[in-house]
Structure 1
């Protein structure tokens, strides 16, 4: 029996319920549940009826790729022209639309009294610290009532704003879009013009120093134009070498001719006979003998001895004349040989030409040596000149590039300040005619929450009651049949 009693006490601490018992047990807690339900439902309905009607205004913005999203490197051409995809552009424009600075500009433009009159009244009598808190509260309220929606692969941004006053809702949203068009220019606009100008001025200063070093280098080495002088020296050297070769060829020619003249000059007589008179005595004698023969023939016969002797003399004379034994000069004159004079004149001219050519050869050799030394000096100075020229060229190119970029940046800013071609307001906000309120949703939530809370309270109260509430629960808990039950007697 003791064991059964202990078992009974353990069973009594853990009552076992059936589904049918819950209705009976919860009915016992109906007053507590009704009180909890009534209190929570009244509070929920009070909260629901405190909800005010708001009027949502909507607008939409078309966003396209613009010049401000095209990458322009500050220096060089790496990745020039790179552009983000459309989703990145939409995301950046959405962030600009939702920035706190833009909301602050809207509040400052319209005034706190036009948007939130209650906060404006508090702001008028608040201290500076409290005023900052009130402005923060206004920005938070503006952010809570502002809705920005986007869709993938769609260049449209939908913007909505809720306010108690429909006119204020449309006014705030349109003002937000107008300030957005201005604000985004400052965010996305190229603000590098001052930086470009400073960089350009720095390069110009370095270029002036490089020019001064370049001029000092030229003046110190007495060079007018390094490249032109180098080219002219190369051309001059080629000309001098060509002249030298020509002079050497002429010198060899004149020297050879002079040697030949020297050999010919030894073989030519300085004097030559100008004319001579031939003595005709033999011929005259022959004629005289023939005349005598004819005279003898007039007296003698041809075979007479005197005629034959005379014929013998004539024959002998004819042989002497024919053999030239009777020929002789009666007078002869000599003079200077013109060939000798010509050879002598040509020899003198050739000798003078040879001397002149040798002097010219020596002069050309000296000039060639000077040109060669000058070229060697320029070759020695060329690395320094190339370094100075490279510095000047690079700095000039940088100055030119930064000047062009500065002008382009300034022009882009001016164009961006006057137009927003890639951002178009598709639909401006109009004052809404239909408002929205959370009264019904809050009332339904209050009803459901009050009923659920009351049920939970009833269940908790049911489980916390001591004892066995029903005979069936006692029978299941004690595993004993219940023969009878009596009502609890009132005290």
Structure 2
């Protein structure tokens, strides 16, 4: 029965007393029965969506591990004075929760998780992300890190310095491998974070110097193999000695060439001055062998002049003999011949023959001089090349020696820094793995929590629909409501007539 009456509070009398609990329950039951379809539809819709959401996620396997954190001196703060000393200040220990929270931040840092994803493999962990196209706004690695963080759970155990770590994945083997890799990377990362930077610096320097030293050794080895010379000083000394010998031979050849040239010039003048034909017999000329003797005297004089100075007695005597022979020939030629028989002048023939020999010797000496000059030039170029190679070898050897010394210095400093690091490590915070990454035995499903939450939300939605339906009505649903609203008794009610 619906009574559509004016519900203006100003026009109605004062309401009656509040209804009893039984009456209110009966009214709500009547409302629920009256709006049962709406309430059932709201409940069914919400719960159906909940069931659908519960069927979507697949089972996930969670691998678990735990680590024990022993706090050290890096979580102790000591105030420094202006001069840099502690000055007896009271050390302040960080709160245990804050220190462990710092450890969990290191454990869940983006760079550490990204390194784990790269080590295990993006395609193995999340193949659906790997199959996507690369997006500059959302790189694949960032998506993988975000999903890895969703599956990562790190909690601090109350009252203990223990961090409980869990990682869930659809594949149990990947869940265990990823968590194991995460622990290994975490231990290495925190060791790098809290370690002394000097050790890392020296390790980098040692590696860089070692690389340079290997390259210098390879360059020196290639240089020695390419040139095949062990002692450059000895080789250059031998070349200089050979060069000196060649210069001496070249000087001798030059002297012999000049002598041969002068002799050829003398023989040329003599041949030109000697007639081609000679009187072989004449009553007035006497012995025809006198001109030959004159030629021999001139040649003797020329030879002496090439070896001695002009005022030497031997040269002077030879010159006097030549002048005497020439005067004798001139005296004989002044008398007119009576009976004369001419023929080929043997002196001219001998002079021409000697001239040919002299020119041949001069040409041979010139060729020998050219060969000696070329050889000497090659020796000089070879000596210059060896000197350049010696300088280059010295530079390579010097660089290798300097790098060896530098490597030794850095290695000693690194060893000292490692000893100091090991001594200070005992005072630092240490992390021990209490439980390694376990193999997930059972799959954890979120269906039951989803169904429980969905059931609660469905009930709330049904009640909300009932409340809104009652609040939005402009009519009375029962005589009691009418009596409470107007303060008058209901005399009679008419049932709803079904048409």
* Length-normalised TM-score, structure 2: 0.47
Larger Rg: 1
* Length-normalised TM-score, structure 1: 0.48
